[in-house]
Amino acid sequence: MVSLPHPIQYQGSKRKLTSDILNFLPSKVERFIEPFAGTAAVSIAVAYNDISQNFWLNDLNKPLIELLELIVEKPEEIINAYADIWNTQNIDSISHYLEVREKFNHTNDPTLFLYLLARCVKGSVRYNSDGLFNQSPDKRRKGTQPNKMRKNIEGVSALLKGKCKFTYLDYREVLAEAKSSDFVYIDPPYQGVCGDKDSRYFSGINFDDFVLAIEQLNQRGVAFAISYDGKRGNKTFGIPLPKELRLKKLEIEVGRSSQATLLGREEITVESLYLSPNLLVEKSTGIESYINKAPKQLTHLKKHGKFSAVAR
Ligand SMILES: C[S@@+](CC[C@H](N)C(=O)[O-])C[C@H]1O[C@@H](n2cnc3c(N)ncnc32)[C@H](O)[C@@H]1O
């Protein structure tokens, strides 16, 4: 499998799932929309596979979208800025990280954000109740080397330059604009992961609003796929999406939990992918027989090199 460029470390990134997801997309789409773009991992793969050459990347996190825009449109500027920040790390790189973090919290400068994401624990974005970035540095690593970062940024820019619209709107504003000639990949933050007390909400997203927005996509005949919930061992994340949405649910095995393995437990992580009803109509009957197989079958088919032949 080709290794695609990925400059941004981000918990929740779908970079390891892109080849699975792409198996269920149409072979060509006029415009590819990601209302919850994060690192745009799926759009990068879509551009690489020439499924679309027109993208709308949206994420409520403004510095993240500004960072993506810099990477795509002004690669040299962000490459040099990153190298400057990275090279000023000295022996006391922890204090350096904390200084950069403080500066970022004052300025929201996307170039500082790239360094923080490269250097923080598990690339996992955490904010305190005042909205300030408060994730700690990973003490064992210094963050991606500037020359490696350069390659990743140049790779993404080569694939996406001049082809994207960048916005930092609420996802509903984006979905409201989607047309039947678009394809929308929807990857909201999972309920349960953010530890919100009210189970009807996940990271500020109301479940009923989300269902309503999806229902409206169905009514307008827009094709889409949603990465929504998942399972680790016996633990399930996310409230199931209502049957009335007529979505087809696929389960993709993404691996074993390393922590559980350390504790001597066999815990498999599974991510769900929901396909819109009209997307299923477009696909051949092969997809139906594929979906009906047990989730484990997916990994099995891939291991035996039969995966893409079934779905595409
Ligand atoms: C699971 S991540 C997406 C990861 C992405 N697919 C990738 O591969 O990197 C979910 C994203 O939704 C964004 N988000 C949260 N609430 C949002 C909202 N109301 N509207 C738009 N984006 C939102 C978060 O900032 C986060 O980047």
All structural domains of the chain: 1-187 (1.10.1020.10)
For ligand 1, the distance from its centroid to the CA atom of residue 303, given in whole angstroms, is: 30
140: which strand partners? none
The sign of the dihedral angle between the CA atoms of 69, 71, 72, 77 is positive
185 lines ligand 1 (CB under 6 A): no
Stretches where the chain sits below pLDDT 50 are: 192-202, 284-286, 288-312
For ligand 1, the distance from its centroid to the CA atom of residue 289, given in whole angstroms, is: 31
Q: Which strand (E) or helix (H) includes residue 201?
A: strand 201-202
For ligand 1, the distance from its centroid to the CA atom of residue 59, given in whole angstroms, is: 6
Q: What is the pLDDT of residue 199?
A: 38
pLDDT in tens, 285-301: 445 444 434 444 444 34
| Atom number, ligand 1, closest to the C-alpha of residue 190 | 1
Q: Are 113 and 70 in contact (CB under 8 A)?
A: no
CA atoms within 13 A on the CB side of 250: 26
| Atom number, ligand 1, closest to the C-alpha of residue 34 | 6
Q: What is the pLDDT of residue 26?
A: 92
207 lines ligand 1 (CB under 6 A): no
Q: What is the pLDDT of residue 42?
A: 97
Q: What is the pLDDT of residue 246?
A: 95
Going by alpha carbons, the residue nearest to atom 27 of ligand 1 is: 38
Q: What is the pLDDT of residue 247?
A: 95
12 lines ligand 1 (CB under 6 A): yes
271 lines ligand 1 (CB under 6 A): no
196 lines ligand 1 (CB under 6 A): no
For ligand 1, the distance from its centroid to the CA atom of residue 203, given in whole angstroms, is: 9
CA distances from 113 to 44, 164, 216 (A): 20, 21, 35
| Atom number, ligand 1, closest to the C-alpha of residue 12 | 1
pLDDT in tens, 11-50: 888 888 898 899 889 999 999 999 999 999 999 999 999 9
As a whole number of Å, the end-to-end CA separation of the chain is 16
The residue length of the chain stands at 312
| Atom number, ligand 1, closest to the C-alpha of residue 35 | 21
Tokens 């799926």, residue located: 42
For ligand 1, the distance from its centroid to the CA atom of residue 252, given in whole angstroms, is: 20
Cβ contacts of 112 within 8 Å, gap of 6 or more: 85, 100, 103, 104
Phi, psi of 210 (to 5 degrees): -65, -45
Q: Where are the beta strands (DSSP E) in 244-285?
A: 248-256, 268-275
CA distances from 296 to 106, 250, 253, 254, 292 (A): 47, 11, 7, 10, 11
57 lines ligand 1 (CB under 6 A): no
